């Protein structure tokens, strides 16, 4: 295959990288990037760091010092790196099942999962689909349990006109390669509470500076490698660099200056890319809605999901592998995302059959690419292949 569209893509070009290099010479560029993010995300305080998982870890560090509680509740289907961060902070992961309506955590199950030892609950906006019941979640959590929004896959998404991340006192975003706002890596903490802001600021001031050694080359390589013709020709070599398992540990520091500069540049045009994800995703779901062999997320008309990828569940899981191969053969790369739920990735004290919805999602999910390099013809091709093979 000469041309192959990857399931992720850079939103910047070499002109943006060149501008980022110039901006990186400004010692205040990280603070300026934080200011730009504050406006875009409608936040009170923003603290950029080197990754989304670092942002989550710092949030946990800020919370644990005022409480003896140890449990942090996660949906059973999400990124394994969250478990690594919880353990790094000396806390204990606790799981709850997900809903097969929007593929996010099940609000009713969450309320039953809270114990006297619960420090925080993490509401993950999976696939860029905002949790429609996020306001109720916050209201139903007991006093002393902090709601943390994980917006890693949902940069730009809105729930009833409000940006994700604005419904809780604290949340975090990721700027990693496969995210909606990819700066190769990076992330930020969003804080809407002055009290928590002081604690986060104190922690961030102690972080080492990311000098950005090698970052320029990685940023440029990511842009080049995700061009469809390059990706098609060098697929085998590029695929060796995928992150397929959760890291055992991770470095925590500030974001690099060049990434902050690149972020400033990309924020000037990111609305175009986010709108394209929303429109293509809505069209895909609408086009496949009548297929009885599929389970698709239910999206409220009042919400604005900026799809990271479009999740599709195949009731007959044997069809999934066939369709994935046919899509790849046609030059389109789909993704299985996380092939196992968290209680299958880690020994957390649960039985394999626990969290049946999370198990089902992992076994039946194929996520379709939806970024700006996916053309209208590509979308039609996906729809045609799926309809002909289910």
Structural domain contains residue 225:
no
Long-range contacts of 241-247 (CB under 8 A, 24+ apart): 245/80, 246/79, 246/80, 246/81, 246/83, 246/84, 246/345, 247/53, 247/81, 247/84
CA distance 143 to 241: 44
Q: How many domains does the chain have?
A: 1
Structural domain contains residue 315:
yes
User: β-strands 170-174, 146-150: how paired?
Assistant: parallel
Asked if residue 96 lies in contact with residue 105, where contact means CB atoms within 8 angstroms, the answer is yes
Q: Which domain holds residue 85?
A: 6-211+244-390
Asked if residue 196 lies in contact with residue 169, where contact means CB atoms within 8 angstroms, the answer is yes
- Which helix (H) or strand (E) covers residue 161, if one does? none
Asked if residue 304 lies in contact with residue 277, where contact means CB atoms within 8 angstroms, the answer is no
Q: Tens-of-pLDDT digits for all 390 residues of the chain? A: 578 899 999 999 999 999 999 999 999 999 999 999 999 999 999 999 999 999 999 999 999 988 999 999 999 999 999 999 999 999 999 999 999 999 999 988 998 899 999 999 999 999 999 999 998 898 889 999 999 999 999 999 999 999 999 999 999 999 999 999 999 999 999 999 998 999 999 999 999 988 777 899 999 999 999 988 888 777 766 666 566 677 889 999 999 999 999 999 999 999 999 999 999 999 999 999 999 999 999 999 999 999 999 999 999 999 999 999 999 999 999 999 999 999 999 999 999 999 999 999 999 999 999 999 999 999 999 999 999 999
The distance between the two most distant Cα atoms of the chain, rounded to a whole number of Å, is 57
CA distance 214 to 332: 30
Structural domain contains residue 180:
yes
Structural domain contains residue 236:
no
Structural domain contains residue 359:
yes
Structural domain contains residue 378:
yes
| 3-class DSSP assignment, residue 191 | strand
Specify the pLDDT at position 234. 72
213 CA to centre of own chain: 25
Q: What are phi and psi of 368, to 5 degrees?
A: -95, 140
Q: What is the CATH number of the domain that holds 60?
A: 3.40.640.10
Structural domain contains residue 229:
no
Structural domain contains residue 277:
yes
CA distance 376 to 89: 45
CB atoms within 10 A of CB 68: 7
Read off the pTM. Answer: 0.96
Specify the pLDDT at position 239. 64
The sheet with strand 170-174 has its strands ordered as 45-49, 187-191, 170-174, 146-150, 118-124, 71-75, 92-96
- Which helix (H) or strand (E) covers residue 376, if one does? helix 376-389
Asked if residue 159 lies in contact with residue 303, where contact means CB atoms within 8 angstroms, the answer is yes
């Amino acid at each position: 295959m000469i041309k192959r569209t990857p399931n992720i893509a850079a939103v910047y070009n070499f002109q943006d990288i060149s501008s980022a290099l110039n901006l990186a010479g400004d010692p205040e560029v990280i603070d300026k990037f934080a200011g730009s993010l504050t406006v875009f995300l409608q936040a009170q305080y923003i603290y950029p760091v080197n990754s989304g998982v670092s942002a989550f870890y710092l949030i946990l560090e800020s919370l644990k010092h005022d409480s003896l509680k140890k449990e942090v509740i996660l949906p059973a289907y999400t990124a394994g790196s969250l478990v690594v961060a919880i353990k790094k902070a000396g806390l204990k992961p606790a799981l709850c099942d997900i809903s097969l309506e929007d593929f996010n955590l099940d609000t009713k199950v969450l309320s039953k999962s809270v114990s006297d030892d619960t420090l925080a609950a993490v509401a993950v906006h999976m696939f860029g689909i905002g949790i429609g019941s996020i306001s109720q979640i916050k209201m139903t959590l007991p006093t002393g349990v902090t709601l943390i929004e994980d917006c890693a896959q949902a940069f730009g998404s809105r729930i009833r006109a409000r940006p994700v991340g604005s419904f809780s006192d604290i949340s975090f975003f990721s700027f990693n390669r496969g995210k909606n706002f990819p700066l190769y890596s990076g992330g930020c903490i969003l804080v809407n509470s002055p009290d928590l802001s002081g604690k986060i600021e104190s922690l961030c001031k102690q972080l080492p500076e990311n000098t950005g050694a090698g970052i320029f080359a990685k940023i440029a390589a990511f842009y080049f490698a995700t061009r469809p013709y390059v990706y098609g020709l060098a697929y085998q070599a590029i695929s060796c660099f995928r992150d397929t398992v959760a890291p055992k540990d991770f470095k925590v520091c500030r974001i690099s200056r060049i990434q902050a500069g690149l972020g400033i540049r990309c924020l000037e045009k990111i609305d175009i890319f986010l709108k394209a994800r929303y429109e293509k995703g809505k069209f895909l779901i609408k086009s496949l809605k009548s297929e009885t062999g599929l389970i698709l997320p239910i999206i409220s008309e009042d919400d604005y999901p900026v799809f990271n990828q479009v999740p599709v569940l195949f009731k007959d899981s044997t069809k999934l592998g066939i369709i994935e191969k046919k899509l790849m053969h046609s030059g389109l790369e789909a993704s299985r995302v996380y092939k196992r739920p968290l209680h299958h990735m880690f020994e957390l004290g649960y039985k394999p059959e626990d969290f049946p919805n999370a198990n089902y999602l992992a076994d039946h999910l194929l996520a379709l690419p939806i970024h700006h390099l996916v053309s209208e013809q590509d979308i039609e091709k996906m729809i045609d292949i799926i309809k002909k093979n289910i």
